[in-house]
Structures are given as structure tokens and as C-alpha cells.
Chains A and B, each alone.
Chain A
Amino acid sequence: AQSVTQLDSHVSVSEGTPVLLRCNYSSSYSPSLFWYVQHPNKGLQLLLKYTSAATLVKGINGFEAEFKKSETSFHLTKPSAHMSDAAEYFCVFDRGSTLGRLYFGRGTQLTVWP
């Protein structure tokens, strides 16, 4: 069965240090993969998406993710964390049906310390 697994439920970093949020996927084919962010009392916002055009995907707010088929991973990174990055992050996949349906991981709560 296709799925995504977020390896950390909580990640804490200091402001200005790198961010790494880990996600592994399980799929018999190359899925469409996404990262979404959810700030408190806000809707989900798309950070970036992978759809097989390029393995390194750049998103908004300085985030990027690399699709590694050999490792079945799609980790989210940012070189330097900012206080405003504190939020819940979801790794998401889409089986690619014509009418999209998203499958969310359980989420990683990112805390950024001053």
C-alpha cells in the first residue's frame, strides 16, 4: 500500500540553524509528493511539490526537498530556521488519479528556539 511516514513527531532547532524534517514514502511507482505547513489556527499551505520533473524541489520561504528514489525519501530542509517557521509540517502524497486525493503523514511539529 502506498503511504508516507514522517520519522519525527517533534523537531526542535535554534533560530539560524538548519532544519531537517524527514519523510519516507512507500509506493510501487513514483508518486506525487508534497510538503504542507499548518500554522496554529490557520489553513494548510503548500510548501512545495514533487511531480518527477526534478528531484530537487524548491519551495516557498527557503524550504526545499529532495526526492531520493533509492532511499524512498523526501526530506524537507531549510538552511537557516526562522522563528516564523514554527508550525506543523505534513508530508503528503497523491496517487495521481485524475481527481486528486491527498494522503497525509501524521505531521512533525517544528519548534524554533530564539
Chain B
Amino acid sequence: DAGVTQSPTHLIKTRGQQVTLRCSPKSGHDTVSWYQQALGQGPQFIFQYYEEEERQRGNFPDRFSGHQFPNYSSELNVNALLLGDSALYLCASSLVSRERGTGELFFGEGSRLTVL
């Protein structure tokens, strides 16, 4: 059973460019959350997708957008890249149930973005 998979693992972009990161959730999971982890910091919540809609959003500008597909996979898009967007981007998946709400989050290994 594959866990959460993310691609690409590393990438380098220049300021002003756009980037798309991809995430496949753990088998059986229906919810995908994205987190940004800057160097030396704890991860910060970007947004969460459930039933192909953005359900929650953290304190990130509109340059950060996302999408969830019918197969539950997800993309994170960042436009007009800034140097400060350099970070490890983590995807986490979970399964929502009426009884327990959101179950345990399983994290991928992340996509490390460097903006030059």
C-alpha cells in the first residue's frame, strides 16, 4: 500500500515563475492538506481540499492555489514566485468520517522548492 506520494522531490525556479506541485493521497483517503515548511520552522497550513473543494485556508496569499481531482489527488500552484517561497512543501492525506471527523494525517516526504 503506497503512502502519500509527492512530485517532484526537488525543483529550482526563479523569481516571478510559476510552479505546480503534485500529491497522491494514501489509498482510501479523501482529504488532502498542504503545508509549507520554511527552513528551521514548523510546517504551516496552506489549505485543505475535500470533495474537490477548498474547505479551509491558512494565512497565505492568493498566489497560492490548489485543486483536487476526482481521484482525490491534488495540485498546489504558486504564481509569481518570491524568494520567500523557498521551502519544503508537504502534502498530507486523511479520511473524513462523520464519527471521527478527520482521521490521522499521513504526510508525504515533501517537495523542496528553491527560488533563486
Residues of A within 8 A of B (CB): 41-46, 49, 90, 92, 96-107
Contact in complex: A101, B107 (CB < 8 Å): no
Contact in complex: B56, A99 (CB < 8 Å): yes
Residues of B within 8 A of A (CB): 3-4, 31, 33, 35, 40-45, 48, 50, 55-56, 58, 90, 92, 94, 96, 101-102, 104-110
- Give the contacting residue for B107; candidates A41, A44, A49; CB below 8 A: A44
Contact in complex: B102, A100 (CB < 8 Å): yes
Decide yes or no: A46 and B90 within 8 Å by CB, A99-B55, A103-B45, A104-B43 being known contacts. Answer: no
Contact in complex: B42, A98 (CB < 8 Å): no
Q: B45 to chain A: which residues have CB within 8 Å? A: 101-103
Q: B56 to chain A: which residues have CB within 8 Å? A: 97, 99, 101
Decide yes or no: A42 and B48 within 8 Å by CB, A99-B31, A104-B42, A106-B41 being known contacts. Answer: no
Q: B44 to chain A: which residues have CB within 8 Å? A: 104
- Give the contacting residue for B105; candidates A41, A46, A103, A107; CB below 8 A: A46
Q: A106 to chain B: which residues have CB within 8 Å? A: 40-42
Contact in complex: B41, A43 (CB < 8 Å): no
Chain A minimum-CB-distance residue to B57: A101
Q: State the CA gap A33–B31 with chains docked (Å).
A: 20
Q: Which 5 A-B pairs have the closest CB atoms?
A: A104-B42, A100-B102, A43-B107, A44-B107, A43-B109
Chain A minimum-CB-distance residue to B6: A43
- Give the contacting residue for B48; candidates A44, A99, A107; CB below 8 A: A99
Q: State the CA gap A90–B22 with chains docked (Å).
A: 24
Contact in complex: A101, B41 (CB < 8 Å): no
Decide yes or no: A105 and B33 within 8 Å by CB, A98-B102, A100-B94 being known contacts. Answer: no
